[in-house]
Amino acid sequence: MDNYFVLVVDDDKEIRDAIEIYLKNEGITVIKAKDGIEAIEKLNEQVIHLIILDLMMPRLDGITATFKIREKQNIPIIILSAKSEDTDKILGLQVGADDYVTKPFNPLELIARVKSQLRRYVTLGNYEGAKKIIDLNGLTLEQDAKEVTVLGEVVKLTPIEYKIVELLMTNPGRVFSINEIYERVWKEPGYNAENTVAVHIRKIREKIEIDPKNPRYLKVVWGIGYKMEK
């Protein structure tokens, strides 16, 4: 399940890290937060497709966080709850959560529930990615046609170049490291990937930018990676 971003919110670092390992093995990128306040900050920073949310957390608990998220967004939310928290679990579903998993949880069950919610979310077309057409100030990506245009003019990209552009355009403003780009596009560990990615980025800029030396769309964040400007 490539190009999906799941936000895992739990004040227990071991649980956050364990869930990250499970989901990463399924090709899902995990963003982590330790409480509800940090979770809402992450939501404002980048595209998230699903949230796994613990109920009992400091500063802002899972129930209140769910309520606040539902005021603005319809992202699927899966609650993590202990058996002793049945009342809170029911309340969480009432304020807008979509599903729940009881701790200690079976990793296979959690993965199955995550995949089910993501499929339902995408199929029903409740998120921007479902529109299949993304426009960033004249740079347009049509996912069904696998086509990129600049101000209406079709740009001829290689399959690898297209995958890089698609990754960046479906997550505008998010900075991807060189290793992350390599691993998500080439599906291999990103060892010594700097030159390979840099060459492809240069070629993409030559095709989509009016002035490749002063790019409008594909930006470098020095020392970190690359992003597509919103």
Residues 6+ apart with CB under 8 A from 106: none
Interval 113-149: pLDDT, tens: 999 888 877 765 555 554 467 888 889 998 778 899 9
The answer, yes or no, to whether residue 102 has pLDDT greater than 80, is yes
Helix (H, G, I), strand (E, B) or coil at 29: strand
Confidence of residue 188 (pLDDT cuts 50, 70, 90): confident
* Buried residues in 54-92 as b, exposed as e (16+ CB within 10 A): bbbbeebbbbebbbbbeeeeebbbbbbbeeebeebbebb
Read off the pTM: 0.57
Dist CA 50 CA 12 (whole Å): 19
DSSP 135-194: EETTEEEETTTTEEEETTEEE---HHHHHHHHHHHTSTT--EEHHHHHHHHH-S--TT-H
More confident residue, 3 or 199: 199
The pair phi, psi for residue 183, each rounded to 5°, is -65, -35
The answer, yes or no, to whether residue 180 has pLDDT greater than 60, is yes
The answer, yes or no, to whether residue 78 has pLDDT greater than 60, is yes
The whole-chain average pLDDT of the chain stands at 87
Compute the residue count for the chain: 230
Closest CA to 7 of 41, 37, 45, 49: 49
Lowest mean pLDDT segment, chosen from 87-96, 101-110, 142-151? 87-96
Interval 53-75: pLDDT, tens: 998 888 888 888 998 888 878 88
Amino acid at 148: V
Amino acid at 165: V
Spatial contact of 48 and 5, defined as CB atoms under 8 Å apart: yes
The structure tokens 């800029």 sit at 205
Provide the pairing of β-strand 218-221 with 225-228.
Answer: antiparallel
